[in-house]
Structures are given as structure tokens and as C-alpha cells.
Chain A
Amino acid sequence: MTTFRSRILESINNESLQTALDNNTERRLKGRAVAFESIPDWRERIKRAHAVRADVIEHLDEYLAKFIAKNEENGVIVHRAKDAAEAIQIVLKITDSNRFASRRWSETDDRSRRTPLLIAKSKSMVSEEISLNHALEKEGINVVETALGEYIVQLRHERPSHIITPAAHLKKEQVAELFREKLGIPYTTDIPTLTATARKILREVFLTADIGLSGVNFGVAETGAVCIITNEGNGRMVATLPPVHIALMGMERIVPNLNDLALMLSLLPRSATGQKLTVYTQLLHTPLPSTTLRKNQTRHLIILDNGRSRLRNSPLKESLYCIRCGACLNACPVFRELGGHAYIGSDLSIAPYPGPIGSVISPGLLGENYVHLAQASSLCGACKDACPVDIDLPKLLTRVRAGQSPHPQPLSQRARGEGAGLSPLTKFFLRMYTRVATHPGLFVASQKFAALGTFLFAPFSQWIRLPAFTGWGYSKDFPRFAGKPFRERRKSKKVDKETGRQSGRFEGGQVETLADKKTEDFADSASRFINELTALNGHVHQTHNATKDIVEFLKQRGVSKIHLEPNTLDENLLREANIEIANAPDPQIIVGATKAICGLADTGSVLIADGEGSPLEASLLPEIHIAVLKSSDILPSLKDAMALVKGRNVVFITGPSRTADIEMTLTIGVHGPKEIHVFLT
């Protein structure tokens, strides 16, 4: 048995892993189905999204050139890395030049007393792909994963097991034990307590990190925007608080313009987590200006090839359309048995991208080491069905099997040619069968031979009990060949030429069709907004005098100081009520109040833009975020708001910060605000 197969068996026999995976599958599939109901034109959208991605990959060089030029214009430092080693070198160089510009030391400090450079990292699959953490840690740099699931996995010295929910394989008891051991808290399986512990520790990391490192969900060619989405808010923290932000992106993650981005964002969160929109959808154009917490931000954008060009010039091109939503993993029955840790290479290394898409791209990106993974599929097509950009994953899997994957290194005998990853015995039998199936005479003779053979083997039963090593016999019996195959029986039977009978009822017009779903009569946008946000545990207060009601709210909460975006509220009234006003970020303040540029009726989101008084921080650091929104500024949906975004640094906020990283239990308030209150005027 291959090591891959024994690893599969290990996963199958790991009961707690199986429970976790079953939960993941069921919850995600249901969530996705419900989320898609709210966009009745989803089929159409998927088609369009496929076309957009196809166009981008077709003209990738032009789009990338435009994207890079825009970013340089925007003051972002752009690097291109052709492989993992180059990307790591670039990061190391950045860390080196920032070592002394750190907020914690100056050139004159005693070198030996400096603490190691600290990098706060939000989830990035690309960094897993290039094993960045390992390389940085070797250089004595302290890298802390800040997404709850990633943090847990890092504490366990594991790799993420799912591209969306990295700790999908763990139960809360395991996390409780881990936190007790590693973080020194009393053993508790209370998920909110575990989450709060992580919040406290990681908040300190965000505030003191020298560098924030994140992945990139999309790059917008037209404006240069880098789009980063997170639910917990760590993606915002690392891109906002440290003096240096490094954004690491795969070169294929481009969309042409903001409209296309809106289309992708209507599909990605729905497919990934069943959300209409991720809690924080950041669009960053320029490095952020200085605040009381740091000087002017420097942003580096590293664009990685690492085999993507190779894939692009191969029959696996379509795999680059992927937007890394993870839906194909959730739909995949193989992933459901294996989890993310059993997709191993022949050198036992864990493939960074598990699931159907991983089995397609891993050999091309990383090497023939992973070529056998593509054989572990029944080609059932559940992945293709789930894919929001309609990638024909089963077809691509058969192409990998046919030896059409490109490879970074010259190939060994094992991976060369057709039937890549197939066992030699199966290959031998299939080739014999080809001879039989191309010669009808031989085919008939074989049928007779097999019928006789299987009859002798099991004269008294229709079924043969094959031994387990045959594969088939592992879990089922094999049918005996028919004594007389169809063709024989047909020959001996006089074909009845009569028309025979038929039901006489021709129901062509009555073939069942799904009743057209009634489109709801939409209530007005304000009430839709309220419904959506309330459903996400957000609060909406309708008011005629926002300041007065906010003062009342603050009094109730016993709050006497707020971080306020200028020109948002009547500051005199606030002062009269003895509310102290700060215009700059301060980690001690527990309420931040900002304007909302607009609201989105279909998702309950508010748009916050950077500007005077650091509204990005005001909507991120405090425990409570107050947003003041005019009813007339509520737009139908994301795409309608894109015109307001152009060139700015903005975030769409959809409810309070949240996570479902421990046992998929929804927990509010991981890194960002625990409460969001929209005062609707």
C-alpha cells in the first residue's frame, strides 16, 4: 500500500477528524445553498465570472502591467517574484531594511537588547505555498499568525487543513488543551472565552508588530486596488496598524475593474462561508498616512509566479481561474474523508492546496511529487457544480492523469507519460482491456472466458468474494459475468417487430418544470438594510438626531471618551454631555464613531473610507463601532457603491467581527469591534 493510501486510512480511522469533516461538509453545503438563494441570477453570474476570469488569464500580461503601473502611481512598492526562493528573498530584504526603522528601536539601541522583529500575519495561502513562515523563523524573525484558526494551527506546529477554515480538523477540547498548555489559561471549552484569550494576546501583536503581512484576494487592474477580505478583522489590523504592510499575491488574482470585483465578491463569500459579504471587505489603493500609532505606512506588493506561468501555458490553464473559495473542497467526497493533511506528496510533505483544485495545481506548481493525488477522485463532478467560476475540475483531473501537467523539474519515470500516478498493475490491465475492446472478436471471446471463469469461481452465487488486495474486494463483492451476455441473448431471440404497447399518454407539455420562484416584493431599501444587519447581530437605531441618541447610548454604556471622525456628529453637544473626543487612534478607547459613506441594502454593509481623524482605525480598534448613515445613502448592492470607491482606501463592514474557526461555532468579536451600531438618520 502506498504511503498516500495509508495516510487516507489514518484519516478515515480518526474519529474526531471524521466528525469535524462531516460537520464542515454539511454546514458549508447548506450555508452555500442558502446564500445563493438570495441571488436568483446566480447561474448567470457564474457564467459571467467564468468569462471575466478567462479574459484575465488570456490577457494576464496586459492586466498585470496595468495593475503594477497603477500601484506604482499609488505609491506602492511592487516586486515580482518568479519563484518561492525569490519571494522569500524579497521579504527578507524588506525585513532587513525595516529592522532598524522599527518603532521599537533606533540605530543607537544596543543590538543585543533588541527583541526579534515581529511580523503579524493574516491568512495567506501563497505564504503557505512558499513556506514563508519557516524561512522567516530560520532568520530569527517572529511570525505570528493572527487568524484564529491559523493561530491555533501555528501553536500546534501544523499546516492549515482547509484553505478557508484552517482548524477544521480540530475539536474544541483539543483547542482548550492547547490554550491551557501554550497560553497558560485554565482549561475551558467555552469558545467565547478561548476566542477572547486569543483576541487579547493578538491585539498586543498587532499594536507592536513591525510588519503586517497579508495575502490578497483580488487585485483590480483599473485602479490598482488590493482587495483583502476577512471576517475577524485581522486582515485589516495587519494592513492598517504596523508601519510596513507586505501584501503577497499570486499573479493570477487580477480582475479588470471594480465592477468585475463586485461580481466576484457576490460569489466568493457565498461559496466560501455562505455569507452574502465577508465582514470586512477592504480595498486599499495607497499606503495609509501617519497616525499617532505609527508614521507613514510603507506598502510592498509582492506578485508571485511560482509555476503559474507554467500552468497558464499548459492544458491546465483553466485552473488559474480559481478564486480560492474552498467550495470545491467542501463539496468533495474525497476531501470529506481526508481532510487537508492527508494530501501528501511522495516525499510525505503535505500539499499546501488540498481538495480538487489542489490535486490539479499542486504538481504543476510544486512538482511531480504530488502527481498521484489526481487519481484519488471518482470524477463525480460535485466540485465543478460548486465552483463559482465554473472550472471543469473533473476534466482537469483527467488531464493531470493523462500526464498533461507541466512540472518544475524534469520528470522521473514514475510521473512520465499517460496514466500519471496510476498503479502499474491497473495500467497493465487497462492496456490489455484496450486490446480486447478494439477487437470485437476478442471482446466476445473474453466475455465467454470470463463467464466461464467466474462461474467456476462461484458456481452457486451471482457474486464473487474477491480478496481485499484486489481493491474491489476490499468492501464489496463482484458480480459474476452473465452466462449469456446481452449480445448472445439478442441473437437467439426473435426480434419482435410488432410495435408492442405504449401508454398512449403523451405528456410532452406536462413534463415537470420547477415553478418559477416568485420574486419577493422588495421592501424599501432602509428596511432591507435593517433586516440584513440585524440578522448579522448588528444594531440599527433609527434617529432624527444622531448626536443626541448617541450621547444617550454612551451614557447607558458608561462611556466618557470616544474616537470620533471629524464632521460626523455635533461635537459641542458631545462636549456638553461631558464626552471627551479624540481624533486619533488610541487602543484604550472603547467606542469609535465614523461616518458611513453609504449603506448596502442587500447585505447590511456600511462603507467607511480613510480620511481625516483616522476613521479606518476608529472602525477597527474599539470594541464598539458607531456608524452614522443617512437613509438616502443606502444603495441597493455592492456594485452600485463601486463608483464611490475609486482610488480611496475603504472598507465595507458587514456586521461585527466574527469567526467560526473553532468547531464552526459562530463567535462574535475576534479582532475587530464586538458591536456595530448604525445610527440611521
Chain B
Amino acid sequence: MYGLISMVGCVSGLKWTHMTTVQLFVTCLVDSFFPQTGEAVVDILSRLGISVNFPPDQTCCGQPQFNAGLRKDARAVAEHTIRVFEKTTGDIITPSGSCAHHFRHNYPELFEGDSAWLPRAKSLASRTYEFTEYLVDKLNVTDLGATWDGLLTYHPSCHTLRGINVDRQPRALLQNIKGATLVDLPHAEECCGFGGVMSIEHPELSAEWLKRKISNLEATNSPTLVVTDAGCLMHIAGGLHRNNKSQRVMHIAEILHNT
């Protein structure tokens, strides 16, 4: 299978092939709960001729603390992350719209007025891409030769859709999967109710949205829901499991990895 499209090396004029090294910020959730997602990302990028480096000292972006209002804590984690990636060069790829949003919009907020840290935070932000954004906008790739059998439906995670305005990218990638039938998820843009600490602090609210998301998913008849964020993934999948539903939630990287 790999041989099928190993022609990449032959494609001339694409300066980034072979040469490019990117840094992977895998996110704490993928690292701890869904390692296969991280592996899919690495694989896909490698197939495109990009070498992927994983700085092992990375932990978490600090968004949970930031969102809860614990800015001192959020700062400590952010400083750690900045330090780790400052030791590296090249683009930083993360399979999470939420973490990309956190780097891009919340880090500058966190370090506002700090002349030492703000430029460092901004420089990290400017290097960061959400995974599908990187594929489509930076590499100009919308067809990864992926295949799928059957229905797929896409839930645009809030921070991917509204946080960093990434929507056409994952949709374009999904559109080009051979054999897949993409069906619209009703009220797709509604939050699934994860919201980090909100799902713990306000479980009653979270539960209602989750219920709605699941019934919208059921209305599509699709057995598989595609997301761009491990947060939504564990939330929706956890809800499906609790209710003995058969649908699966998968990260887009794993879908695109399937050939």
C-alpha cells in the first residue's frame, strides 16, 4: 500500500518535501488517552515527506487552568511549553483546534504587558498550526489517498470552528476520502458540552448538550462521528458508551490515515 503513492520524492518543485521537519505538540489528552491519534498524525506527515519531531519534555498547553481562571497556573504551564518548543525550530503541528486556539489567542492574553514573555509567546503562536490547517493551507494537500467504507459525519469542534476559523480544511480533506459518504450533522456547530472544567463544574448543562449532540448524530444514521479534538472525542464517546450506543467517535487523523 505504501508503495502506491511513494512517488512524492519524485514530485519536483515542492521545496518542503524531504527537507521539512516539524514539531509535534501531541496534547496531553492524545498522549495519555488516544496515542493512536498521535501516531496517525506522525504517519500522515511522514508519508508527505515531512519528518516529525516530538520534544519529549512537552506536557500540556495549560488551557484547563486558563479557562478556569487560574492564570498564574496557566502561565507556569505556558512558560514550560514555550521553553520546550523554543529549543526547536520549524512549524509546530497539533491535532487539536483547541490547543492551537490556546497558543494563538490565549497565550498573548496571558502574557499581555510582559515585554519579556509576550514576544516569546507570540513567536510560539506564529509557528503553530492545527493539523488539518497545516495540511490544507500550508502543504496544499486535500487528498491523502485515504479510503473509507460507508457514512461519515463531521462535528466541527468549537475552538476549531470559531476559535481558529478552521472549517473548510477538515471538510475538504474528508470530501476526498474514497468510498466515504459524508453526511451533514444537524446543528453541527453546537457545542457538545465538553468545555473543559465546565463538564465537571456544570455537569447538568453539559449533559443536556451531549444528549442533543448524540440525538443529532443518530439522525444522520452515520456510525462514525469525526472530530478534530480529543476533548470533544472523549466527551461524546464517553456519552455514547454510557448510553450503550454503537456509534464511534474518531479523530480526523485516524480517518485520514486509513487507506
Q: A residues near B, CB below 8 A? A: 5, 8-9, 12, 333-334, 337, 374-382, 384-385, 395, 398, 400-403, 418-423, 426-427, 430-431, 433-434, 436-438, 440, 443, 447, 450-451, 463, 465, 468, 470-472, 474-482, 484-490, 493, 496-508, 510-513
- B28-A437 in contact (CB<8A): yes
Q: Which of B64, B205, B242 contacts A430 (CB 8 A)?
A: B64
How far, in whole Å, are A513 and B136 apart by their CA atoms in the complex? 12
Complex Cα spacing A12 to B43, Å: 45
Whether the pair A418, B71 counts as a contact (CB closer than 8 A) is yes
The verdict on B17 contacting chain A, using a C-beta distance below 8 Å, is yes
A16 nearest CB across to chain B (Å) = 16
**Which chain B positions have C-beta within 8 A of A501?**
1-6, 8, 47, 145
B199 at interface (Cβ–Cβ under 8 A)? Answer: yes
19 contacts between A and B (CB under 8 A): A8-B204, A375-B202, A378-B158, A382-B190, A395-B105, A401-B67, A402-B69, A403-B69, A468-B203, A476-B207, A479-B33, A481-B32, A482-B33, A484-B35, A489-B35, A489-B39, A500-B6, A500-B49, A510-B142
Residues of B in contact with A (beta carbons under 8 Å apart): 1-9, 11, 14, 17-18, 26, 28, 30-35, 38-39, 42-43, 46-49, 51, 54, 56-60, 62, 64-73, 76-77, 79-80, 105-106, 109, 136, 140-145, 158-159, 161-163, 168, 171-172, 175, 189-191, 193-211, 234-235, 237-239, 241-242
Answer whether A497 and B51 are a contact pair too, CB < 8 Å, given A379-B195, A504-B8: yes
- Give A441's nearest chain B residue, CB to CB: B57
Q: Which chain B residues border A437 with CB–CB below 8 Å?
A: 28, 59-60, 62, 77, 80
In the complex, are the beta carbons of B239 and A485 less than 8 A apart?
Answer: no
> B43 to chain A: which residues have CB within 8 Å?
500
Contacts of A334 in B (CB 8 A): 205
- Of the candidates A380, A434, A500, the one whose C-beta lies within 8 Å of that of B162 is A380
In the complex, the answer to whether B238 meets A477 with C-beta atoms within 8 Å is: yes
A501 to B140, CA, bound (A): 16
A422 to B71, CA, bound (A): 13
**What residues of B have a CB within 8 angstroms of the CB of A506 in the complex?**
11, 14, 140-141
- A474 and B203 contacting across the interface, CB-CB below 8 Å: yes
Contacts of B237 in A (CB 8 A): 479
Q: Is there contact, CB below 8 Å, between B35 and A431?
A: no
- CB contacts (< 8 Å) of B68 on chain A: these are 375, 401, 419, 422, 426-427, 430
Are B209 and A472 closer than 8 Å at their CB atoms? no
Residues on the A chain within 8 Å of B51, using CB: 497
The complex places the Cα of A498 from the Cα of B79 at a distance, in Å, of 34
Chain A residues positioned under 8 Å from B46 (CB to CB): 496, 498-500
- Give the residues in chain B near A498, CB-CB below 8 Å: 2, 6, 46
Contact in complex: A436, B191 (CB < 8 Å): no
Identify the 8 closest CB pairs spanning chains A and B, nearest first.
A378-B195, A401-B69, A508-B140, A500-B47, A476-B238, A471-B200, A474-B203, A475-B207
Residue ID in chain B nearest A447 by CB atoms: B32
| Chain A residues with CB below 8 A from B234, complex form | 478-479
A398 to B195, CA, bound (A): 12
CB atoms of B59 and A443 under 8 A apart:
yes
Residue of chain B at shortest CB distance from A469: B203
> Are B65 and A502 in contact, with the CB atoms below 8 A?
no
With A and B bound together, what is the CA distance between A143 and B101 in angstroms? 49
A502 with B145: CB separation less than 8 A? yes
Q: Which residue of B lies closest to A371 (CB)?
A: B69
* Residue from A333, A421, A427, A502 with most neighbouring chain B CB atoms (10 Å): A502
The smallest beta-carbon distance between A91 and chain B, in angstroms, is 38
Interface pair A440/B57, CB less than 8 Å apart:
yes
* A381-B203 Cα distance, complex, nearest whole Å: 19
Which chain A positions have C-beta within 8 A of B4? 501
Contact A418 B69 (CB under 8 A): yes
Residues of chain B contacted by A490 (CB below 8 angstroms): 38-39, 42, 54
Asked if B7 and A375 sit within 8 Å, CB to CB, the answer is: no
- Min C-beta distance of A549 to chain B, whole Å: 50
